[in-house]
Chains A and B, each alone.
Chain A
Amino acid sequence: MNGTNLFKIALRALANNKLRAFLTMLGIIIGVASVIAMLAIGQGSKRSIQQQISEMGSNMIMIHPGAEMRGGVRQDPSAMQTLKLENYEKLRDECIYLAAISPNVSSSGQLIAGSNNYPSSVTGCSNDYLEIRQLTVEQGEAFSDNDIRTAAKVCIIGKTIVDNLFPDGTDPIGKIIRCNKIPLRVIGVLKSKGYNSMGQDQDDIVLSPYTTVMKRLLAQTYLSGIFASALTEDMTQEAVDEITTVLRREHKLKSTDDDDFTIRTQQELSSMLNTTTDLMTTLLACIAGISLVVGGIGIMNIMYVSVTERTREIGLRMSVGARGIDILSQFLIESVLISITGGLIGVILGCGASFVIKTVAHWPVFIQPWSVLLSFAVCTLTGVFFGWYPAKKAADLDPIEALRYE
């Protein structure tokens, strides 16, 4: 049997029942559109979380003192003085999996500039900190080596600090901010990053050379932490192992001793959040998938009714020489055409809906090409699967009975 002829026959049959064909399609359209839109929402929120994590520095490694017992009492990590500047220097010089490393000390207090003041904390760090936390100096400049060596009284401030200390819009560069009576000259302003997914203001930040904070603000010799970033996200584990080895050696820990520091990576956080969003995506896809199946059952229903309604037509076709396989193919082509057309409209509608959600509700939305392909493939299969039974029924009709059917 000629394929193009069968295709034409099926097309004519559909054209004769446009409304019915469209109503049948509606199930598939809604199914496919919702699969695409739901997956787009799921993928969009996953992406936005991933992006926020990577904005914080997705390969960031945080080293804090910890897990020390003194006379059976576990100590507060922040009070511990086990992380020294020498540890930082060793790590900086020895670790090959690290792209950047910065000591971290912090002094909180009221910042004063002219008649304005604002409570914040000054973070002591090296220039690497900017890279680790994905910060960029928008205005002015970063610390010079000289600033670090001489513990220069300089600072780089975030947007929130600028807004609070210089509300009248004066250029903060070159101005003096006092923190705990120590005057710090503003040499740079960071590019705004907004809030992260944890609700922290990432612009509420004052950076000074770690030497300045340690010597001038805090007068302490230990670090509250070391921040580092692995060469790539995938190398995070190697970097962690390397840091552990170096620190255990430096701290002269016996093999039976526990680590006296803790290392945390963003990977843990990101995998936790990914699990959540993946679960959400799966749930949404399931709901949408169910609607696709319901759409498919709709096709079966209509095709089934259509076979009954067109029994005489089938009888006639058989009497003029259509074989069972021709009738089967015709009805299969009809249902596949319905589902493919419905699928196409659904794809367009789903993409449109995603776009509307993005522009109107401002939800993060991302359409993955595979989700479009998947739902399209599923709806084609739906057409064949749910079209098969009615088509088989039509093909198995006895032409004599069918011709006589009232």
Chain B
Amino acid sequence: MSKTVIELQNIKRNFVVGDEIVHALRGISFKICEGEFVTIMGTSGSGKSTLLNTLGCLDTPTSGEYYLDGISVRTMSKSQRAILRNRKIGFVFQNYNLLPKTTAVANVELPLMYNPAVSAAERKRRAVEALIAVGLGDRLEHKSNQMSGGQMQRVAIARALVNNPAVILADEATGNLDTRTSFEILVLFQKLHAEGRTIIFVTHNPDLSQYSSRNIRLRDGHVIEDTINQRVLSAAEALAALPKNDDDA
């Protein structure tokens, strides 16, 4: 068994809305090891967003313990969590969240800008490396508004990779993309997984679970299913099987 990256122990998260208390997470426990590609699925209201926020150290649980790379997150202050996110987590969002009118390199450099230990030269080098890794080596100086959705998502993935995080958190990362581009992004995630990255992919789309190594299903704040996927489909094959688009010719 390889090293545990994420460990949740009976995580509960309550929100007070008016007079009512909403229980978004009702005691969630699981471990994710290094090199896993986990899909967290659930319908709207199942608590997956809250879980993602907790995993991403954007939110703290009401009770329970969360260890990220062995570090207890629950008692951390806001700025400590910010630093933790900066060093340990890479986010990929549904709507890319790139800085507008900013080049791909500058976008990818962003997390390193908040890490004083990284020099300007190293920052640039690592950003370029990350962009090459996602297949955008020829789009370094393109601005975010000059790129397609798939390219923008690749930039976002490069940004998530650049700080060499313990875990990559993807929130509906293919939600805004067409089928073909979605598979291209999935191919990229599988490639990253093959390189040993830990990836957590949050989605409401059950089809995507076939391409990850482990599936966790949430409902009403509980884990109702946690299975290892014995037959991981290759996204590259699925992509090849798709009918050719005329635009791509």
Which B residues touch A1, using CB under 8 A?
114, 116
**In whole angstroms, how far apart are the Cα atoms of A2 and B120 in the complex?**
11
A312-B97, A319-B56, A320-B86 known; A9+B113 contact, CB < 8 A: yes
Tell me if A12 and B82 are in contact (CB < 8 A).
no
A5-B116, A400-B58, A400-B59 known; A320+B110 contact, CB < 8 A: yes
Chain A interface main SS type: helix
Binary per-residue interface labels of chain A (316-330) against chain B in the complex, 1 for a CB within 8 Å, 0 otherwise: 111111111110000
Task: Beyond the given A5-B116, A316-B99, A323-B82, please list 6 additional residue pairs across the A-B interface where CB-CB is below 8 A.
Answer: A319-B56, A319-B97, A320-B111, A321-B82, A322-B86, A400-B53
Tell me if B106 and A320 are in contact (CB < 8 A).
no
Tell me if A321 and B58 are in contact (CB < 8 A).
no
Kindly state whether residue B85 has any CB partner on chain A within 8 Å: yes
Tell me if B59 and A326 are in contact (CB < 8 A).
no
Kindly state whether residue A399 has any CB partner on chain B within 8 Å: yes
Tell me if B79 and A325 are in contact (CB < 8 A).
yes
**In whole angstroms, how far apart are the Cα atoms of A319 and B82 in the complex?**
7
Chain B residues close to A by CB (< 8 Å):
53, 56, 58-59, 78-79, 82-83, 85-87, 91, 93, 97, 99-102, 106, 110-111, 113-116, 159, 163
Q: B114's contact among A12, A16, A322, by CB below 8 Å, is which?
A: A322
**In whole angstroms, how far apart are the Cα atoms of A8 and B120 in the complex?**
11
**Size range of the chain A interface in the assembly:** 20 to 34
What's the least CB distance linking B243 to chain A, in Å? 34
Tell me if A313 and B99 are in contact (CB < 8 A).
yes
Tell me if A403 and B97 are in contact (CB < 8 A).
yes
**In whole angstroms, how far apart are the Cα atoms of A324 and B82 in the complex?**
9
Tell me if A321 and B111 are in contact (CB < 8 A).
yes
**In whole angstroms, how far apart are the Cα atoms of A43 and B82 in the complex?**
54
Q: Chain B residue with minimal CB distance to A399?
A: B58
Q: In residues 1-30 of chain A, which contact B (Cβ within 8 Å)? A: 1-2, 5, 8-9, 12, 16
Q: Chain A residue with minimal CB distance to B91?
A: A319
Which A residues touch B53, using CB under 8 A?
400
Tell me if B102 and A319 are in contact (CB < 8 A).
no
Tell me if A8 and B113 are in contact (CB < 8 A).
yes
Q: Chain B residue with minimal CB distance to A2?
A: B116
Which B residues touch A324, using CB under 8 A?
78-79, 82
Which B residues touch A317, using CB under 8 A?
110, 114
Tell me if A16 and B78 are in contact (CB < 8 A).
no
A323-B79, A323-B83 known; A5+B114 contact, CB < 8 A: yes
**In whole angstroms, how far apart are the Cα atoms of A97 and B83 in the complex?**
76
What's the least CB distance linking B149 to chain A, in Å? 17
Q: In residues 348-406 of chain A, which contact B (Cβ within 8 Å)? A: 399-400, 403
Q: A12's contact among B78, B85, B87, B106, by CB below 8 Å, is which?
A: B106
